[in-house]
Structure 1
């Protein structure tokens, strides 16, 4: 089934401008066909690729890396080890991001707990000193020292 750029925009959630940009940058797995009048014609496979491409982008893969991956796909069989290496490198970066986010979440959870306890004690009239828990101390107790703990 052929799709117009407007239909692809609606179904993919990408703007018409973004779709043109992706095409110009060589980010589609297959070349986009055109009508004799020059209008773009998309296929269901293009939508499926856009969904994968959007996941790669939202996970932090650079346009250059996606472009390289597409180039390798278009070359066909014989370069699977290069595709695997590219995806494996990205997988390592995403795993590192997830690890860092887990550390951030630990700090946030610690702070939520500390402030929830403080608020509960304050509301119960147990505290005379209205000073909330020390933010810096919270941070350093919640996670090992590092660049993303503050």
Structure 2
């Protein structure tokens, strides 16, 4: 099951802070409840997240284009074991009040070594909305984490 998710968030924190926090992948398990672990694999990062029971979602991705602190394009690393192919981009722009407007687009599809697991994953995703739901919840937690660090708690999340 292929998915495409577009998220737009307005975060009450400076753009440079949001940029640094987004790229601090090793800290993600401390604030993102679904992310179990993140580790370095060469120039890429390996993420392990709670997925469709009994299998976790695992993806290994690296930046393919970076324009600090406003744009990052990423994609899965070919040939590295994982069960979630992804690609996408992140764009950050400053808001008039000193906050950050975040736009994120992620496309992908889970794949498993077993055709039975592939079918089970498709069924689970159609019933429970994974991994789209996982992405939205994770970035709501990202926003909360940053705003708590900066003393702001208003939420404004939308999906396009």
Fold match, TM over 0.5?
A: no
Q: More strand per residue: 1 or 2?
A: 2
Larger radius of gyration: 1
The TM-score by the shorter chain falls in which range? Answer: under 0.3
TM-score, reference length from structure 1: 0.25
Report 1 or 2 for greater relative contact order, CA contacts < 8 Å, sequence distance ≥ 6.
Answer: 2
